[in-house]
Chains A and B, each alone.
Chain A
Amino acid sequence: MNDVILQLDSVSKSFEGKVILNSLDLEIRRNEFITLLGPSGCGKTTTLRIIGGFEKPDEGRVLFEGTDITGFPPDKRNVNTVFQKYSLFPHMSVEENIAFGLKLKKKSGQYIKDKIGYALKLVNMDGYESRKPDSLSGGQQQRVAIARAIVNEPKVLLLDEPLGALDLKLRHEMQRELIKIKKEVGITFIYVTHDQEEALTMSDRIVVMNKGLVQQMGTSKSIYDEPQNAFVADFIGDSNIIDGIMKADRLVQIQGVPIPCVDTGFGKDELVDVVIRPEDLEITAPETGYLTGRVISVIFKGAYYEIKVRAGAYDWSIQDVNPAPVGSMVGLSILPDNIQIMHKPHSEDAQAVREEE
Chain B
Amino acid sequence: MVRKVKSGNLFHGISGLKNLLSRCYIGLIVLFLYAPILVLIVLSFNRSRSRVTWGGFTLEWYGQLFSNRQIMDALVTTLVLAFLSALIATVIGVLAALGIHAMRQRNYQIMMIFTNIPILNADIVTGISLMLWFVHFMPLGFGSVLIAHITFNIPYVILSVMPKIRQMNVSLYEAARDLGANAVYGFFRVILPQLLSGIVSGFFMAFTMSMDDFVITYFTKGAGVSTLSTMIYGEIRKGIKPEMYALSTIIFVTMFLILLAVNYWPEKKPAVREEQRF
Contact = CB atoms under 8 A, between A and B. Distances in A.
Interface string B159-202: 00000000001011011111111110100001001100000000
Kindly list the 8 A-B residue pairs having the minimum CB-CB distance in the complex, ordered from nearest. Answer: A101-B179, A87-B175, A74-B177, A104-B180, A87-B171, A91-B193, A135-B277, A81-B178
Nearest to A158: B178
Interface in A113-134: 130-132, 134
29 contacts: A52-B174, A53-B178, A54-B174, A74-B174, A74-B178, A75-B177, A75-B180, A75-B182, A79-B178, A81-B174, A81-B175, A81-B178, A83-B174, A83-B175, A84-B171, A85-B171, A87-B171, A87-B175, A89-B172, A89-B176, A89-B193, A90-B194, A91-B194, A100-B179, A101-B180, A104-B181, A104-B185, A132-B273, A134-B273
Contact of A80 (B169, B178, B183, B185): B178
Given A85-B169, A131-B276, A104 B179 contact: yes
Nearest to A98: B179
Contacts of A75: 177-182
A135 B275 CA distance: 10
Contacts of A73: 177, 182-183
A75 B184 CA distance: 12
B182 A89 contact: no
A194 interface: no
A209 to B, nearest CB: 22
Given A75-B180, A75-B181, 20 more contacts: A52-B178, A53-B177, A73-B183, A74-B174, A79-B178, A80-B178, A81-B174, A81-B175, A81-B178, A85-B171, A87-B171, A87-B172, A89-B172, A90-B172, A91-B194, A100-B176, A130-B276, A132-B276, A135-B273, A135-B277
A152 B179 contact: yes
Contacts of A89: 172, 175-176, 190, 193
Interface in A61-118: 73-75, 79-81, 83-85, 87-91, 100-101, 104-105
Interface of B: 169, 171-172, 174-183, 185, 190, 193-194, 273, 276-277
Contacts of A277: none
A44 interface: no
B84 to A, nearest CB: 29
Contacts of B169: 85, 87
A40 B183 CA distance: 30
A87 B171 CA distance: 6
Given A83-B174, A87-B175, A152 B273 contact: no
A83 B171 contact: yes
B106 to A, nearest CB: 13
A148 interface: yes
A348 to B, nearest CB: 31
Interface residues of A, number: 29
Interface string A197-218: 0000000000000000000000
Interface in A295-352: none
B171 A148 contact: no
A6 B87 CA distance: 48
A179 B194 CA distance: 34
A100 B177 CA distance: 11
Counting chain A CB atoms within 10 Å of each CB, the highest count among B171, B175, B176 belongs to B175
B58 to A, nearest CB: 50
B253 to A, nearest CB: 33
Contacts of A80: 178-179
A69 to B, nearest CB: 14
B27 to A, nearest CB: 40
B188 to A, nearest CB: 12
Which one of A88, A91, A132 has the highest number of Cβ atoms from chain B below 10 Å of its Cβ? A91
A88 B176 CA distance: 9
Contacts of A148: 179
Query: In this complex, which of B174, B179, B181, B182 has the most chain A Cβ atoms within 10 angstroms of its Cβ?
Result: B179
A132 B270 CA distance: 11
A53 B174 CA distance: 9
B51 to A, nearest CB: 52
B33 to A, nearest CB: 37
Nearest to B104: A16
Contacts of A84: 171
Given A132-B273, A134-B273, A87 B174 contact: yes
A220 to B, nearest CB: 28
A36 to B, nearest CB: 18
Contacts of B277: 135
A91 B195 CA distance: 11
Contacts of B172: 87, 89-90
B181 to A, nearest CB: 6
Nearest to B175: A87
Contacts of B178: 52-54, 74-75, 79-81, 149
Contacts of A91: 193-194
A317 to B, nearest CB: 39
Contacts of B273: 132, 134-135
Nearest to B179: A101
A87 B175 CA distance: 7
Contact of B180 (A85, A105, A130, A132): A105
A91 B176 CA distance: 13
